[in-house]
Structure 1
């Protein structure tokens, strides 16, 4: 690890660029990012089974997922600062924490150890997810960075696919221990792959001759950036809506006759749609400079979809609306991360931390509201529909600044 960061420091301040993009590192990183999200949703598709298995309430099981955005709110900025200063050490620390938390849940087959393990894994998550723009800067040619950020973001949603599919195919109280073990092995293997890939790859330092910064300098550079502040305002509500849906959609749909296995499959298909959307939409939008329009369409569709789930809850409606949300809303994340890398090139990991912080803060707030309304699914979906619409003024606010900057 020291060798990796020594290599980075030796290349800092130079205008080195990779002769070719090193996609092997991105593949290994994608496995780790997927593992973090599989842990996040590990118990979401089997909420009721897990509640019975551990002898706790449905709301308590929801906290096994909600702890991830809550910890992210606390650690997003410190993780971003450490990544900007000690990129490889911080990223590997995130991998170690992720795997360690996954295995801690196996110490005892009870809710307390499950919560402790989820908290430790949640501490590792900011070090992993904040690294996306920095990884693109260090290992991809400039022309490939938007594609790399989209691919890495897709991997996070692919991890949710894995988590939901595991829950769908291993339902029942007797399979909770199996789910825990499988995701622990995935986290360990993914972490080992990333360490190996970083060891054999050659980081190129900072792009465009901009030296890496850290500490308060990086935070000030990111926080003083008007574009970044407005991007944070844009991403808070949509990402919060998605986190709330991913956490509680199974118990919200159960009164409409959507069982745990079906809900798990629908959520997995939603994530698959998100993976496809992240692989296609951001690249198309970046080439045509249509990022704002596509994010607006995703926000509007999500609000209408939540309203439909409130009025006509059913399995077919859940399939249509949630798959649509996956395809049109989830690509907003890589779009925003790509925009943040473009507007904050001297502190990309801290900028990513602010973006993720805003989104996870929205997740904590909206998931808490939905958790309180879980006994009234229609009211919960209406609340999400109204909240999601609140992102449109923030998007127009950013678009106005973006247009004025382009004109200047």
Structure 2
């Protein structure tokens, strides 16, 4: 009997060892399979999202084989993104004329632009969460709000309806700007996503240039209504184009299966160390560019640069930035040098500011500021492209955080781009230059 008991114990021990060995083999195989399935992905997921990603990755070869880029959607999106920024700076180049037209102060006209960054800060995260969960419906909402806000300004030719329209359009901007990475994932092949993000970002800044140029070529109190009407037509046509293009559904991809929704998207974005670093990185080049654009006229006035010339320099700087957004990110993505490019841009900007401080003159301002715009503005599409890779489960929410880190805060007014003619009035910077004292004291009054 004791021998039988010993045999049974040995049999049970052998069975337990066998079960343990089988379980170990299964765990090792599962670990190897998960490791193989996560190749090429930068951000590992856990929980329910891991299962979704495993399923999507298993089918990834089939999906990628039939994926093609739908550039028509990105073209329509670029038109609407440009329209939102044209609305943003609609009254900035004609501040004094608009104040006389509406019968309000210049400070009140400034709020027609201020509401855009203010509303964006309030709606960036909710809009990003909505885009992560419902990309096409959220984009349609943004297009409708933008077009409706632009149209509301025509209800009555007074300041109240202008404010209402700008607020509604600003709410639509939150959905439009955050959609760039999600739109790239849904409608572009992986090899074209960096190009698409660069093109969309370039269109955004091109809209600012368009808004300033419209104001520059339509000056005068009597042309405020015409200026408003033109931007209304642009916004409505662009919105219709995007709504029509969005009839094409986004194509399935491994990234679309990994997307989370609701507060989980916000937690995923905030908990992602790379996203937090990108938010800190983008604040440096974008903040520097905004500071230079905001104070370019008073900074150049002590060197004897007229206000009209400073406005021309700023216009060309923004155009150089638009070109840089379309070229630099694509080059950096193909060579995998996004971080190095941003570091070089910051170093070049520091050198440009030093040259401008040592040799303040009109030719130096043209040369240095154009180069600064070309290398600084591409930082935004570079960071958006990196966020799409590092936060595939919450790319729109991450884009909202990045935009908030880089966009102008309320209280910073866009600098008007003006070409003053013989009957044009001189601005604040020129008046300071006309009454300035020694150069050192004048420069000391400008604080960034």
Where on the TM-score scale, by shorter chain, does this alignment land: which range? Answer: 0.7 to 0.9
Answering whether residue 415 of structure 2 is matched by residue 367 of structure 1, we say: no
TM norm structure 2:
0.73
Q: Is the 8 A contact 2:129 2:396 kept in 1?
A: yes
TM-superposed CA distance for 1:179, in Å, is 1.3
Unaligned runs of 5+ in 1: 1-11, 385-408
Where does residue 271 of structure 1 map in the other structure?
318
Where does residue 176 of structure 2 map in the other structure?
128
Where does residue 42 of structure 1 map in the other structure?
90
- Root-mean-square deviation (CA, aligned residues, Å) is 3.2
TM-superposed CA distance for 1:165, in Å, is 1.4
Other structure's SS at 1:190 match: helix
Unaligned runs of 5+ in 2: 1-54, 417-427, 434-441
Other structure's SS at 1:299 match: helix
The CA distance in 1 between the partners of 2:285 and 2:332, in whole Å, is 18
Q: Is the 8 A contact 1:98 1:120 kept in 2?
A: yes
Alignment partner of 1:290 out of 334, 337, 340: 337
Where does residue 24 of structure 1 map in the other structure?
72
Where does residue 210 of structure 1 map in the other structure?
257
Alignment partner of 2:375 out of 323, 328, 342: 328
Deviates more, 1:52-61 or 1:188-197: 52-61
The CA distance in 2 between the partners of 1:140 and 1:265, in whole Å, is 37
Q: Is the 8 A contact 1:160 1:268 kept in 2?
A: no
Answering whether residue 306 of structure 2 is matched by residue 257 of structure 1, we say: yes
Other structure's SS at 1:73 match: helix
Structure 1 segment 134-173 matched on structure 2, within 5 A: 134-173=182-221
TM-superposed CA distance for 1:305, in Å, is 5.2
TM-superposed CA distance for 1:245, in Å, is 5.2
CA distances 1:104-138 after superposition (whole Å, capped 9, x unpaired): 22233333332222221111111001000000000
The CA distance in 2 between the partners of 1:52 and 1:68, in whole Å, is 22
Change (3 A) 1:216 1:249: same
TM-superposed CA distance for 1:350, in Å, is 0.8
In the alignment of these two chains, the number of paired residues is: 367
Q: Is the 8 A contact 1:49 1:171 kept in 2?
A: yes
Structure 1 segment 9-408 matched on structure 2, within 5 A: 15=60, 16-17=63-64, 18-199=66-247, 201-208=248-255, 210-243=257-290, 256-259=305-308, 265-303=312-350, 316=363, 318-360=365-407, 363-364=408-409, 367=412, 383-384=447-448
Change (3 A) 1:109 1:323: farther
Q: Is the 8 A contact 2:145 2:172 kept in 1?
A: yes
Q: Is the 8 A contact 1:96 1:124 kept in 2?
A: yes
Deviates more, 1:165-174 or 1:325-334: 165-174
Other structure's SS at 2:67 match: coil
Q: Is the 8 A contact 1:244 1:366 kept in 2?
A: no
Where does residue 398 of structure 1 map in the other structure?
none
The CA distance in 2 between the partners of 1:159 and 1:263, in whole Å, is 20
